[in-house]
């Protein structure tokens, strides 16, 4: 069983959380799982974050991220346009507030794929949010995936693995843990949690 639930399960469908946060160490497979889920269910809406990181090959502005300069990120933060933001392994990342609030106000489910620091901020500002942790089957497998992805130089991989140790230790703070052994299984479990109808 790859799903671990904490706390009580809501009794009625209406009581289900509309805002779901997916976190987990870099390289665990968050993007892969979300992409798989959205391939089958394009209606599952994912917030597009702003980041100061450079695009990886194949990443598109406005689709995977809004790729912004340091100055643009400064402005987004100063103008209160981000619901949460954090510095992760040398770059800043943040969730544009307006699009998320619009969706929530119309009663539509919202999924954020953000780091631990961001998840903690959301828990503070929106305590009703459901926090989902994606865990690797083992530490060795996480290292293999992060290295095998081949998108970061060794020193960035080291920074991300250092962050991963901290993120893994925070797993008990989350409402649900999914272990990413099978992409298909986890995508199905996540879809059920996000509650897309």
Q: Does 28 bind ligand ADP (CB under 6 A)?
A: yes
- Among 26, 49, 51, 130, indicate the residue that binds ligand ADP (CB under 6 A): 26
Task: Give the DSSP H/E element, type plus range, for residue 107.
Answer: none
Tell which positions 160-189 bind ligand ADP, by CB under 6 A. Answer: 180-183
Closest by CA to 197, choosing from 92, 54, 44, is: 44
First to last CA, the chain: 24
Task: Decide: residue 102, CB within 10 A, 0-12 exposed, 13-18 middle, 19+ buried.
Answer: exposed
Q: With CB under 6 A, what is the number of residues at the site for ligand ADP?
A: 15
Count of Cβ atoms closer than 10 Å to residue 9 Cβ: 7
Task: Give the DSSP H/E element, type plus range, for residue 65.
Answer: none
Q: Does 47 bind ligand ADP (CB under 6 A)?
A: no
CA distances from 50 to 41, 77, 151, 154, 196 (A): 24, 11, 19, 24, 24
What gap in Å lies between CA 169 and CA 158, rounded to an integer?
17
Of all residues in the shown chain, the one whose CB is closest to ligand ADP is: 29
Smallest gap from Cβ 106 to ligand 5GP, in A, equals 21
Smallest gap from Cβ 2 to ligand ADP, in A, equals 10
What gap in Å lies between CA 20 and CA 32, rounded to an integer?
17
Identity of the residue, 111 or 191, whose beta carbon is nearer to ligand 5GP in the bound complex:
111
Tell which positions 135-164 bind ligand ADP, by CB under 6 A. Answer: 145, 148-149
Q: Does 30 bind ligand ADP (CB under 6 A)?
A: yes
Smallest gap from Cβ 145 to ligand 5GP, in A, equals 12
Identity of the residue, 107 or 153, whose beta carbon is nearer to ligand ADP in the bound complex:
153
Look up residue 190 and give its two tokens: 């996540």
Which of ligand ADP, ligand 5GP, none sits in contact with 53, Cβ below 5 to 8 A by type? Answer: ligand 5GP
Q: Which residues bind ligand ADP (CB under 6 A)?
A: 24, 26-32, 145, 148-149, 180-183
């Amino acid at each position: 069983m790859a799903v671990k639930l904490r706390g009580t399960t809501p009794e009625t469908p209406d009581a289900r959380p509309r805002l779901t946060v997916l976190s987990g160490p870099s390289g665990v497979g968050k993007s892969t799982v979300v992409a798989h889920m959205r391939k089958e269910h394009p209606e599952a809406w994912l917030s597009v974050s702003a980041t100061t990181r450079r695009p990886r090959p194949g990443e598109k502005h406005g689709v995977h991220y809004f790729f912004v300069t340091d100055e643009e990120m400064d402005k987004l933060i100063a103008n209160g346009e981000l619901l949460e933001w954090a510095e992760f392994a040398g770059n800043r990342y943040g969730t544009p507030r307006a699009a998320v609030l619009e969706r929530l106000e119309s009663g539509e489910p919202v999924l954020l794929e953000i780091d631990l620091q961001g998840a903690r901020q959301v828990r503070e500002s929106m305590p009703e949010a459901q926090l989902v942790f994606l865990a690797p089957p083992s530490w060795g497998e996480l290292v293999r995936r992060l290295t095998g992805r081949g998108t970061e130089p060794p020193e960035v991989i080291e920074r991300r693995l250092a962050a991963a140790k901290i993120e893994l230790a925070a797993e008990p703070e989350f409402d649900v843990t999914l272990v990413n052994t099978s992409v298909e299984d986890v995508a199905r479990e996540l879809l059920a949690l996000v509650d897309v109808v």
